[in-house]
Amino acid sequence: MPIEHVSATTRTVATNGVELAVTDAGDGFPIVLAHGFPELSYSWRHQVPALAAAGYRVLAPDQRGYGRSSRPEAIEDYDIVHLTDDLLGLVDDIGAERAVFVGHDWGSMVVWNMALLHPDRVAGVAGLSVPFVPRGPMPPVQLMRKAFGDAFFYIVYFQEPGVADADLGRDPGTTMRRMLAGLSVPEGGSVDMTGLAAPDGAGFVDRLPEAEGLPSWLTQDDLDHYTDEFTRTGFTGGINWYRNFDRNWKLTAHLDGAKVTVPSAFITGSADPVALMMPAAVMDGWVEDHRGTTTVDGAGHWVQQERPDEVNAALLTFIDSLDLGGH
C-alpha cells in the first residue's frame, strides 16, 4: 500500500489502571512503538505510515505520564513493571498474542525489559539510541552518585521531586528546542554530558547547548507541537520514569544475568551523545539472536526523526527477517 494512502486514527485504550492515547494504523502483525524522553507518539510520525504501508498494524502510544495519556501522581506508578504492562495491554486490546516492540531512548529500556520479562509475547525487539544494558552490580542511581560525586549529572539531578520539574517546565519552548536541536556530537568532537563547565547552581536546561536555528528535520510546527503538549502537561510524568531506576533494579533482581533471547536489532546515530556513554558494544554476549546493528552516519540522538528513511529501511529489514507466523 502506498504511504500516502495510509490513514491513522488516535484512540484511547484503558489498560493497567490508566488510559493511553494511541495512534493506530494499518492491518497485520502488530508493531508497538515506544517513545523516549521528553517525547510523544508524534516522535514516530515518519515510521507509523511506512510500517503500516508495509503491511503491519502499528500502535504508537503516548506512554503514561505523557501527552494525552494518564499522568498518575505516585512516582512508583512509573516503574518498569507498569511501563511494560502498559504495552502488553495495547497488544491484549487488539487480541494479539505477540508483537514486535520498537523503542527509542527510554522506550528502548522498556522494550529491552519487555524481552526479558515477557519473551513469549515478543516476536522481536529493536532498540534505538539506547542498547541493551545488562543489570549492574548495584542500584543505578547509587552507582551514579558514586561515580559523579559532587559533579552535576542529569539523572541524579532528576531524582529530587519538584526540582527538575520546575526547571524543565519554566519555559517548555526553550527546553524542547534545546533538547531536540542540540543533542548531537560534532564530527570528531565530544559532548560533556555532565555539564561540568556550566556555572554553579545551573539547572539542566541551562546546561543544554542553544542551537543556531532549527535543524532541517525539525520544522517549527513540529517544535510547536511538542511545546504545546509539554506546556499543557508539564514534564513530571516523564521525569518520574528516571525516579524509578533504583526501584526497577530491585524489581528485576530475578533477571540478574539474563540475556535477550528473542530476535533483536539496534539502531543508533554516529553523532548520538548517548553512544559515548553506552556504546553498542555493551550488548556483546548479551543478545543471543542479534540480527544487526545499524549506525546512521551523521545522525544525532533523535535518529528516527532525523533520518527516517534509513531507520525505516533498517526496521523493515529486521521485521521482515522474523518468523511472524505466516504474516
Asked if 127 contacts 164 with a C-beta cutoff of 8 angstroms, the reply is: no
CB-CB contact of 300 with 185 (8 Å): yes
Nine cell digits for residue 104: 527509542
What is the chain's percent helix, strand, coil content, to nearest 5? 40, 20, 40
CA gap 141, 276 in Å, rounded: 19
Give per-residue burial for 142-155: e unless 16+ CB within 10 Å, then b.
eebeeeeeeebbbb
Among 35, 46, 104, 301, the active-site one is: 301
Tell me how far apart the alpha carbons of residues 325 and 94 are, in angstroms, rounded to a whole number: 17
Distance of CA 210 to the CA centre of its chain: 23
Which one, of 142, 127, 156, lies nearest residue 242 by Cα? 156
Q: Which of 105, 165, 167, 272 is catalytic?
A: 105
Whole-angstrom CA distances from 94 to 1, 250, 320 are 22, 32, 21
Q: Give Cα 77 distance to the centre of its chain.
A: 18
Q: Is 301 noted as a catalytic residue in this protein? A: yes
**105 is an active site residue:** yes
Burial, 234: exposed, middle or buried (Cβ in 10 Å; 0-12, 13-18, 19+)? middle
Count of Cβ atoms closer than 10 Å to residue 85 Cβ: 18
- The residues carrying an active-site annotation are 105, 301
